[in-house]
Amino acid sequence: MALTEEANSGVRLELIDASRLHIHEHVQPDLVDQTREEIRREGCLRKPILVADRDLVILDGHHRFQALVQLGCRRIPAYVVDYRSDVVEVDVWPDAVIREVTKDEVIRRGLSGDPFPPKTSRHTVLVPLLDRPIDLRDLV
């Protein structure tokens, strides 16, 4: 279900069934717990996750995704982008164990069930992605 189209950006906001999404990184359990409690306390998700359009691989927001699933959410707010375009860039976090990541490797890991360690890939979107608070009751 498309919620909005960001004007001329190639990015759209959708609610996606959680079962259709693929992770490409593991998560840090303590950070998932912290994120879950923050979302529960606020009663909404402020920042949608980022997802590759064709493959539905999560690019950014693995901890938010896991927190929402733990809260019983079946639908996940996501900014969906054309990952093969120049709108999204990928690099690694400074402390990452892996020193280089490509877009092809992110997709391969997401679709093969062979995730990177937590906080490996760092995606940058070259258009502004606004916070879009969505009530938790709309996600179950």
Residue 37 lies in a domain: yes
> What pLDDT sits at residue 10?
79
Instruction: Identify the pLDDT of residue 5.
Output: 47
Q: What is the CATH number of the domain that holds 36?
A: 3.90.1530.10
| 91's tokens | 């690099």
Look at residue 46 and tell me if it is in a domain. yes
Structurally, the chain folds into a number of domains equal to 1
Query: Ramachandran region of residue 8, left (φ > 0), alpha (ψ -120 to 50) or beta?
Result: left
pLDDT at 33: 98
* pLDDT score of 87: 93
Q: Tell me, yes or no, whether 45 lies in a domain.
A: yes
Q: Identify the three-state secondary structure at position 43.
A: coil
Does residue 134 lie within any of the structural domains?
A: no
Is 105 among the residues known to form the active site? no
CA geometry: angle at 76 spanning 72 and 81, to 5°?
Answer: 160
Residue 140 domain flag: no
User: Does residue 138 belong to any structural domain of this protein?
Assistant: no
Does residue 63 form part of some domain? yes
Closest by CA position to 79, among listed 107, 97, 58 = 58
Quote the CA–CA distance of 37 and 17 in Å, as a whole number.
22
pLDDT for the residue 52:
98
User: Which residues form the domain of 12?
Assistant: 2-127
Which residue is catalytic, options 5, 25, 37, 105?
25
Residue 16 in any domain: the answer is: yes
pLDDT along the chain (140 residues), means of 10: 52 96 98 98 97 97 98 98 95 94 98 96 94 94
Place of tokens 């980022």: 50
